[in-house]
Amino acid sequence: MKKYLLLFAVFFFSLAMSAQDAHSVLLNLYGGYTFKDKVDFDSSYARVEDGFEYGAGLEYFFMDNQSIELKYNRFDTHMPLYTKVPLPNFGIPAGGQVNSGDDKGAINYILADYTYYFASSDSQKAIPFLGAGAGISILESPQSGNGTYFAWELKAGVKVKTGSPLSINFNAYLQSMSAAVGYDYYWDYYWGPIAVSDYASTFQFGLGAVLSYDFSK
């Protein structure tokens, strides 16, 4: 985890220093509420509970209404795991929680985003936007430890400008990460049994706000 945060910090300061002769660079502080999701496996299922998500990002406008951003968000949550079949040796019935008392975890998102702002003039105060991003998620799982997986997000909202370097975004977002969780086996007449990786994905919707500071003002 520390090496990812170090890379993020190096990118932050290098881009901020070079921004003096370029377009606007904004520091974004994130806060939002992410809703829960259910993830199905072959013989069990897990819930990623809802909770507060927070983080920071550095946004660079390469055009007046288009930007790229590198950001880090952290989502602390609980991840209860339930069995679909009874586990008599452990005294757990079908539908019982396997990791009771040990289900606290977190998801760390490191994403590169592209955002398009629908601004008709420089004097416009409320500017709708759409964006998408991709990168990695670092899952802190109570069962399997840390793992790094592919992640992506979609977002939409409104940016509200003020007469100062500060502005605020109100947004909705959809975040997802995908992880290999085992294998499914298929029979091929020529090759025989073939193992194919089985993937599970989270899909979590959230509502949030972003406080931005524009270094160019």
Write out pLDDT tens, residues 26-35. Answer: 999 999 999 9
Output the domain CATH number for residue 20. 2.40.160.20
pLDDT at 19: 41
Q: Is residue 85 part of a domain?
A: no
Based on the structure, what is the number of domains in the chain? 1
Encode pLDDT of 135-179 as tens digits.
999 988 766 668 899 999 999 999 999 989 999 999 999 999 987
Domain containing 40 equals 2-80+107-214
* Domain assignment of residue 99, yes or no: no
Q: Mean pLDDT across the stretch 125-129?
A: 95
Residue 95 lies in a domain: no
Question: For position 144, what pLDDT does the model report?
Answer: 63
165 in any annotated domain: yes
- The string of DSSP codes covering the chain is -HHHHHHHHHHHHHHHHHGGGSS-EEEEEEEEEE--EEEE-SSEEEEE--EEEEEEEEEEEEETTEEEEEEEEEEEEE--EEESS-BGGGTB-TT-BSSTT--EEEEEEEEEEEEEE--SSTT-SEEEEEEEEEEEEEEEETTTEEEEEEEEEEEEEEEEE-SSSEEEEEEEEEEEEEEEEEEEEEEETTTEEEEEEEEEEEEEEEEEEEEEEETT-
Q: Using the predicted structure, report yes or no on whether residue 182 has a pLDDT greater than 70.
A: no
**Assigned domain for 193 exists:** yes
154, part of any domain: yes
Confidence band for 95, pLDDT divided at 50, 70 and 90 = confident
40 or 113: which carries more pLDDT confidence? Answer: 113
Per-residue pLDDT, averaged over 65-83, amounts to 93
In a domain, 199, yes or no: yes
Residue 188: per-residue pLDDT? 46
In a domain, 204, yes or no: yes
Q: Has this prediction a pTM greater than 0.85?
A: no
**Does pLDDT of 21 surpass 50?**
no
